[in-house]
Amino acid sequence: EDKVVQSPLSLVVHEGDTVTLNCSYEVTNFRSLLWYKQEKKAPTFLFMLTSSGIEKKSGRLSSILDKKELFSILNITATQTGDSAIYLCAVEGAAGNKLTFGGGTRVLVKP
């Protein structure tokens, strides 16, 4: 059974800090790993990673995948209060019909 574990469960930082979120996974025939941000209700897509070692970047957010060690990290630099959210990691395996989600990391950015 596919499995995704995220750490830490939650963290509190101050504006301007850098945050690193971790996602480790076990999946049969890995296809992709995705990061989502969930602020209130609807998770919104951040990144999709399929290849090892290639960093994806969007503004202050970046993510990288290590397919050998089966993990990904999501970095947020110069955090702002608007970055407060739950960050979800999900993997797509062989079946392709579904994503298996981790439990999420709750990030709170204080002014």
Residue closer to other proteins (CB basis): 19 or 90: 90
E-strand ranges in the chain read: 3-7, 10-14, 19-26, 32-38, 43-49, 56-58, 61-66, 71-76, 85-92, 99-101, 105-110
Query: What residues make contact with other proteins under the rule CB under 8 A?
Result: 4, 31-32, 34, 36, 40-45, 48, 88, 90, 92, 96-104
Min dist. Cβ of residue 18 to other proteins (A): 26
CB neighbour list of residue 57: distance below 8 Å, 6 or more residues apart: none
- ω before 8 within 30° of 0 (cis)? yes
User: For other proteins, which is the closer residue by CB, 15 or 55?
Assistant: 55
Distance in Å, CB of 7 to other proteins, minimum: 13
Nearer to other proteins, 36 or 107 (CB): 36
